[in-house]
A and B are shown apart, each in its own frame.
Chain A
Amino acid sequence: MAFTAFSGPATAAAEPAARRRSPIALFLLLPGIFYLVLFFVTPLISLVITSLQAPDPLIFGQYVNAFNWQNYVTVLETYWPQAIRSGGYAALATLFALLIGFPLAYFIGITLRPYPLIQSLALVLVIAPFFISFLLRTLAWKQIFSTEGPVVGLLSAIGAMPAGSSITGTDFAVVFGLTYNFIPFMVLPIYATLVSLDLRLLEASNDLYGSPATTFRTVTLPLSAAGVMSGTLLTFIPAAGDYINASREFLGSTETTMIGNVIEANFLVLQNFPAAAALSLILMAFILVLVAAYVKRSGTEDLL
């Protein structure tokens, strides 16, 4: 199953030295290297160059190559609240996805293990939302959360909310949307580690005076750490850069703008390409540093 690609410790056996140095290996890597250079390194260099451009002194709206590093200072000064909000939203969404996703993965991977048919079905249900466009699903949530929608109707009927108020456009709606959209990315890697967990180890822990809670803390959780790692990274990274959930057309408002929305606006609306490029690079650097620190702390370097 493809999900196992995310999980488990590196099990690659040591290759014989002679085969590792073989020029054929290098030759076989060529298409991959070519692809990376063309579609990753080149745009990255282009992005760095764009981020340092200065406005053309003659034609308004045009930019010329320069070494205008002040772009970075300007965007940070202007957009720091959105940057912090992005990190906060993404962290919250990752936390909620973990809190919902781990029990779900545990249920499918361990509780349903004696019933393989139901297990496969449950797994399909986790993936099923992907068959419908992510935009449509997010729009559907907008409908559900809208002022005329059932959620507001119910909450105002029981007096928990003033009538006519709205859920869309709030922090809650955006974090909810992010959590909802990224839960499968949390569930699948955790499922992959739990489905191969040897239940006899849990029995051994039980036999050695480990209560269910202790067994979970000392055996189940450490043995599924690789899946939790992959899951949180796969959720946090795209959530931090997401611009659909927080946009005004979907679940957000001007109060919930994330860094992704700012980048989108700078590229497509304001056409301030250097600012957008600088923001993209800042986001990238921020995520890289955060992920590296996280992986280092978790002690699972073999994931990187």
Chain B
Amino acid sequence: MTNNEVPKSGFAEAGADLELVGITKRFPGFTAIEELDLTIPAGSFFALLGPSGCGKTTTLRLIAGLEEPTAGRILIGGKDVTATKAYQRPVNTVFQSYALFPHMTILQNVAFGLKRRGIANADALAHEALQLVELDHVAGRKPTQLSGGQQQRVALARAVVNRPALLLLDEPLGALDLKLRRQMQVELKDIQSEVGLTFLHVTHDQEEAMTMADTVAVMNKGRIEQMGPPQELYELPHTAFVAKFLGQSNLFTGDVVSSSSTSMVVDAAGSKIEVPVARAQRTSGRVTVGVRPEKVTLHDAAPTATSGRNVIGPGRITDVSFSGVSTQYEVTIPHLGAISVFAQNTSISSLHHDGDTVWLSWAVDHAFGLADEAEAEPVSRFHADLDTSMIAVQSRKDLEAELEEA
């Protein structure tokens, strides 16, 4: 019977470390996770961020014990749990589908885990957990009588009430409206810091991941691309995927033409872009460098070149979208393509218009160099018209212009 035991030892005093060692998961026909190594320190709020199909939910299911890894080991609090079943692990999950038991009342749902572990005052604790999510007044109802948002909060209460060493959250706030989501984010964070549990939060919402988590891991195609505190990830992305998935980025690809001990210069279709060596993953050959849109400044006239600033242009504003606090411009520069610029609306007169000719500049210190190359994108938003009729129209216009001048 030793292998059939359900963890009965009260509540977790604190969160536990989670360690994944060389985890690989293959399904018939495809590999969901390849050689994944991951350590989540006890008591941290860890977010696994990635697009759908990147393997993040599979990772969660492996940790919960709902799937078995093809290879590798899973350790919780230093104990190897790879061979144990889901019900034996000190882990609880908030499922994306809520998975509330339809034949039980809300209270019975929340008390389910406590009763399985034989905890004496299960109902009282369940009521407490329901008060936490402000749903104690519906304790006697069945899940189908609740709204989607309420069901999600019950699912949260049902997992949190067990005070697991490790709480897994599978897109738990997806069905909530913005106000409730903010409130739940704060509450989740409170519960986490109050009890010191380890939270592993899986989401595709980058804003949610960045506001809640201490550490964010960006996952793509079964691998972790980059991991670190949200700010670090945002300011210094290592790969094109992270640069594009976490916020927006303007990326330029070109050859390194000169480099010193502190910085290197990249020739991107004729424009010289300087990047500090310390912020670049690669310093020779063909590289992709980038800058965040809010770091870029617009200029009406060509700014005088100063050291420590990259200047490109001239280009034309092709799109302006005003969003109150800031304005997003899209500037098309010949050979470089469309570049996004976020400008704070600090003064009324600073507004630029569609069609204006502008120059762009940003501090060299804000640029970053990536480890991989951005996928080739069309140079301009419009493809060059090379068919004969367009060439004919163009040459006729040129001819007319010449005649007028003459």
Contacts and interface: CB of A to CB of B under 8 A. Distances in A.
Contacts of B85: 206, 211
B92 interface: yes
A interface majority secondary structure = helix
A208 B66 contact: no
B62 to A, nearest CB: 13
A74 B183 CA distance: 77
A206 B86 contact: yes
A206 B86 CA distance: 6
B116 A208 contact: yes
Interface string A139-153: 000000000000000
A208 B64 contact: no
A219 interface: yes
Interface stretch (B94-102, B184-192, B271-279): B94-102
A223 B6 contact: no
Contact of A206 (B4, B66, B102): B66
Given A208-B162, A210-B116, A200 B99 contact: yes
B221 interface: no
A211 B6 contact: yes
A222 interface: yes
Interface string A196-225: 001011011111111100110011001100
A203 B97 CA distance: 11
A302 to B, nearest CB: 14
Contacts of A208: 87, 92, 112-113, 116, 158-159, 162
B90 to A, nearest CB: 9
Contacts of B87: 205-211, 214-215
B316 interface: no
Contact of B103 (A206, A214, A223): A223
Interface in B113-129: 113, 116-117
Interface in B260-314: none
Contacts of B6: 209, 211
B7 interface: yes
Contact of A203 (B4, B66, B116): B66
B116 A200 contact: no
Contact of A207 (B64, B100, B102, B117): B64
A219 B112 CA distance: 11
B65 interface: yes
A207 B96 CA distance: 14
Contact of A209 (B64, B99, B117): B117
Contacts of B91: 207
B332 interface: no
B93 interface: yes
B89 to A, nearest CB: 8
Contacts of B92: 207-208
B38 to A, nearest CB: 20
A184 B134 CA distance: 48
A216 to B, nearest CB: 12
Contacts of B116: 208-211, 214
Choose among A203, A208, A215, A223 the residue with the greatest number of B CB atoms under 10 Å from its CB: A208
A203 B99 contact: yes
A261 B99 CA distance: 51
B112 A200 contact: no
Given A200-B95, A200-B97, A203-B66, A209 B113 contact: yes
Given A200-B97, A203-B66, A223 B158 contact: no
A206 B112 CA distance: 11
Nearest to B116: A209
Interface in A166-217: 198, 200-201, 203-211, 214-215
A205 B159 CA distance: 11
A219 B87 CA distance: 14
Interface in A217-241: 218-219, 222-223
Contacts of A214: 87, 116
A219 B64 contact: no
A290 B188 CA distance: 53
Contact of A204 (B65, B101, B103, B162): B101
Contacts of B66: 203, 206-207
A137 B282 CA distance: 80
A211 B95 CA distance: 18
Nearest to B85: A206
Contacts of A219: 101
A201 B4 contact: no
Nearest to B91: A207
Contacts of B102: 201, 223
B30 to A, nearest CB: 16
Contacts of B93: 204, 207
A48 B275 CA distance: 101
A217 to B, nearest CB: 11
Nearest to B90: A209
Contacts of A211: 4, 6, 85, 87, 116
A223 B102 CA distance: 8
Contact of B86 (A203, A222, A223): A203
The CB with the most chain B CB atoms within 10 A, among A198, A209, A219, A222, is that of A209
B83 to A, nearest CB: 15
Nearest to A211: B87
Given A203-B66, A214-B116, A223-B103, A209 B7 contact: yes
Interface string B1-14: 00010110000000
Q: Enumerate the 6 nearest inter-chain pairs by beta-carbon distance, A residue then B residue, closest first.
A: A208-B113, A204-B99, A209-B116, A206-B86, A200-B99, A209-B6
20 contacts: A198-B99, A201-B99, A201-B102, A204-B100, A206-B65, A206-B66, A206-B85, A207-B91, A207-B92, A208-B112, A208-B116, A209-B87, A209-B117, A210-B87, A210-B112, A211-B4, A211-B85, A214-B116, A215-B87, A222-B103
Given A206-B66, A223-B102, 4 more contacts: A200-B99, A207-B65, A209-B7, A211-B85
Interface of B: 4, 6-7, 64-66, 85-87, 91-93, 95, 97, 99-103, 112-113, 116-117, 158-159, 162
